[in-house]
């Protein structure tokens, strides 16, 4: 490993290391968010995506119960706990996650039939916020990858509509172009405001965006709206 005169760390390609791996390592070493996360005790640079989204939309203020879908490695849950020290946070992920003070974590597939019931019981009451940083494992086929990730976003939305209190918020990672038209329509039936944002911490070459659906209408209002839509068609 060597450093150029401009202060940028450059990584030599080691024997057995692929060029792509070398580029990834070099990018990590030179990423200011990675350095900042390490200095401030966050488990990942992704923490700053939530921090920046909250700075813009203010959805964490006063949160008492929060669900974190796709919690690994735990950066978002750390942000919630630091912002709302008294918040009760429940997280789920396919991957193992080291314990976080004040957070209940399970290693389980969110798409498992048992997951919603476990999360609901662990939370112990209606959620103020459902956060989802979930993304499907990529297969290298853009259309397939997009469909698989959007299926997670949709599943997260339906779960949010079951567990959120009226006025609650659903924040989810989507891909380039944001949520598709059908999903946006469903979100608008259930929430008073639906916005897309790409926080500065999201790398410019990344296809990720976030959808922020706020002002959950409650199950009764959403069902009435759906029935009215059906009558008009």
Q: Which residues are catalytic?
A: 173
* Residue owning tokens 């405001």: 193
Give the C-alpha separation, 46 to 52, whole Å.
Answer: 10
Pairing of strands 9-10, 2-3: antiparallel
Joined together, the tokens standing for residue 163 give 């567990």
Coil/strand/helix, residue 226: helix
Taking the alpha carbons at both ends of the chain, their separation in whole angstroms is 64
Read off the DSSP letter of residue 49: H
Within 13 Å of residue 12, how many CA atoms lie on the same side as its CB?
5
Task: Say how many C-beta atoms besides its own lie within 10 A of residue 169's C-beta.
Answer: 25
Pick from 49, 20, 55, 25: nearest CA to 37: 49
Using CA atoms, how far apart are residues 79 and 224, in angstroms rounded to an integer? 36
CA distance 10 to 141: 31
């Amino acid at each position: 490993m060597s450093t150029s005169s401009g202060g940028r760390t450059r990584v030599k390609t080691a024997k057995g290391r692929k060029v792509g791996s070398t580029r990834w390592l070099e990018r990590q070493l030179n990423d200011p968010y990675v350095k900042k996360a390490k200095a401030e005790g966050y488990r990942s640079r992704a923490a700053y995506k939530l921090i920046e989204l909250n700075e813009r939309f203010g959805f964490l203020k006063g949160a008492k119960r929060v669900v974190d879908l796709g919690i690994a490695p735990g950066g978002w849950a750390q942000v919630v706990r630091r912002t709302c020290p008294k918040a009760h946070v429940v997280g789920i992920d396919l991957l193992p996650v080291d314990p976080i003070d004040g957070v209940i974590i399970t290693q389980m597939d969110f798409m498992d039939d048992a997951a919603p019931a476990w999360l609901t019981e662990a939370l112990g009451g209606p959620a103020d916020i459902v956060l989802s940083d979930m993304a499907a494992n990529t297969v290298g086929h853009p259309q397939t990858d997009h469909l698989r990730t959007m299926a997670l976003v949709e599943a997260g939305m339906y779960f949010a509509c079951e567990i959120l209190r009226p006025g609650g918020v659903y924040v989810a990672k989507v891909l380039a172009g944001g949520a598709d038209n059908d999903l946006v329509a469903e979100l608008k039936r259930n929430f008073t405001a639906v916005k897309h944002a790409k926080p500065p911490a999201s790398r410019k070459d990344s296809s990720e965006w976030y959808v922020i659906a706020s002002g959950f209408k409650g199950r009764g209002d959403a069902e009435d709206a759906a029935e009215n839509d059906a009558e008009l068609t």
